[in-house]
Amino acid sequence: MQNVSVNGNSIQVCVQGSGRPLLLVHGFPLDHRMWRFQIEHFSRSMKVIAPDLPGFGASTIENVDAVEMKSYADFLADLIVELQIESAVTFCGLSMGGYVGWQFLKFHPQLVDRVIMCNTRAAADDEATRRGRTLVAGQVLKHGVGEIASHMPGKLLGQKASKELEDELRQTIRHTHPKTIAQGHLGMSLRPDMTPLLSQIQLPSLLIGGSEDAITPSTEMQSIANLMPNAAFVDIQESGHMTPLESPSEFNQIVESFLKRSDR
């Protein structure tokens, strides 16, 4: 792990391997460790960059109310400069990491040459979800992360996931600062509908879903792929929202063959 300073924040980032850069962006409210099987596998042939977004994992954050997805995207662009990565990255994001990804593609398109979006959506929240997030943000700030840590891991995983994995995610959430959870929720609730961007993304793209994903359903992932000119969609069977952790071999194989197909 490296510690780098980006815009006054102390950022923990795993940089491993050499070759074309692969940027892995974690979901909410997790950190780079959710990519451990991918870091291990892809660092054999690529330079893998897996940061903890500001506030998550071991990275710090300044005191702000909500972190919009564009701010995280701008942070990633600054991180790339800080790490002196000179070629365009293969962007791979899961869920909130995908929300950040659409902003990264919109505002920093020159930094990306391939796209992998996992268990995410392009649409904005509906009104009910937005209200729910505001409520949770308030509760977490008032009462701490206990409630979200107890019920969220079950929602993230499919039926076959192990108890150990569920416990591990619970521990990660328990160690996340209430402010980060509140800021992330409010930030996600503010995110715009990115569907209009999809038809403009000409880059080779891969969409990965989990057949048991209750948070970002595969049908929605398929619709995103249908709107992108150069995208393929793969649904991993018997996997929930955390496909890279729940089905690592299958996930890595799918990504590996996409990377080979789109190699130039």
Does residue 17 belong to the site contacting ligand MLT (CB under 6 A)? no
Distance CA 248, CA 250 (A): 6
Does residue 27 belong to the site contacting ligand MLT (CB under 6 A)? yes
Q: Which of 96, 111, 254, 255 binds ligand MLT (CB under 6 A)?
A: 96
Burial 200-220 (b: 16+ CB within 10 A, else e): ebebbbbbbbbebbebbbbeb
Distance CA 242, CA 162 (A): 12
The residues near 253 (Cβ < 8 Å, ≥ 6 apart) are: none
Q: How far is the CB of 242 from ligand MLT (least distance, A)?
A: 8
Residue (12 or 95) nearer to ligand MLT, CB: 95
Does residue 95 belong to the site contacting ligand MLT (CB under 6 A)? yes
Q: How far is the CB of 169 from ligand MLT (least distance, A)?
A: 10
Does residue 204 belong to the site contacting ligand MLT (CB under 6 A)? no
Distance CA 154, CA 163 (A): 10
Alpha-carbon dihedral sign for residues 135, 140, 141, 143: positive
Residues 142-201 that bind ligand MLT (CB under 6 A): 188
Residue (48 or 96) nearer to ligand MLT, CB: 96
Residues of this chain that bind ligand MLT (CB under 6 A)? 27-28, 95-96, 188, 215, 241
